[in-house]
Amino acid sequence: MKPVSLALCLLPCLLLAEDPPASESSINAGFNLTRGDQDTVLFELGGETLHPFGDQSIYVEASYAYGQTEAEEEDITTRDTSNALIRYENKLHDPWFAYAEATSLSDEIANIDYRITVGPGLGTRLVQTDTLDVAAESGLVWVVEDIDNETDDEGAVRLGQSLTWDISKTATLRQTLDFLRKFNRTNDRIVNARIIVTSTLTESLSLRFDLRHRYESQPAEDKESNNLTFTAGIALTL
């Protein structure tokens, strides 16, 4: 069972919570299909929800992507990835905040059966205006993973940065950057970068562009260190 299953189960519960205070929830989807000389299919489904309560908030996100192409009358899987994030944040004395989060990743193509990280940290908002929010944070995480059928667990230091920019009344850009460095193997580093741009079409419907990049200094055998994905789709605000 993929680690993302837990977050996928929690997501509908939060989406359907009764009268959440100023909550923000959405689901998104992207799809690509070709038929002819080459038959391919690619889809991505996801959802996210933010529930603030006082000086605290809970954010949950989950997604699954699958791609397949036909070559020489054989179906080849080109993408089979799931991601999940659960994050709790508590505002301290402005501009400081404390957080605790858990993430999970499963990537069949990269031979990552699962990678789970859990840990707390402390952050500060570097810029905070009506249209721009920039934050930096650091913390400790415990990493549990199964790569190439080899399990491992150890501590790591985490550095993070995030940006949210309301470009206009109808367009928003979100960017995140995470860096993990394991304690016992200092040459084992993981970097996750992401940019999401949304453009409002109607009150509840938006165009959504999602660019992800993952770097691993020690990938599975015969696998690339860099993995880049780009998905264009739509998002429905609930």
The string of pLDDT tens digits covering residues 37-53 is 778 899 999 999 999 98
pLDDT band of residue 4 (cuts 50, 70, 90) is very low
Q: What is the mean pLDDT of residues 32-38?
A: 81
pTM metric for this prediction: 0.88
The CATH number covering residue 92 comes to: 2.40.160.40
**What's the structural domain count of the chain?**
1
- Distance from C-alpha of 17 to C-alpha of 19, rounded to nearest angstrom: 6
- Distance from C-alpha of 122 to C-alpha of 66, rounded to nearest angstrom: 35
> What does each C-alpha distance from 28 to 121, 194, 238 come to in angstroms?
29, 16, 11
160 in Cβ contact with 121 (< 8 Å) = yes
Range of lowest pLDDT (8-12, 73-77, 124-128, 166-170): 8-12
- pLDDT tens sequence across 173-206: 999 999 999 998 878 999 999 999 999 999 999 9
Q: What is the mean pLDDT of residues 211-232?
A: 95
- pLDDT tens sequence across 59-72: 999 999 999 998 77
- Domain region containing 205: 4-237
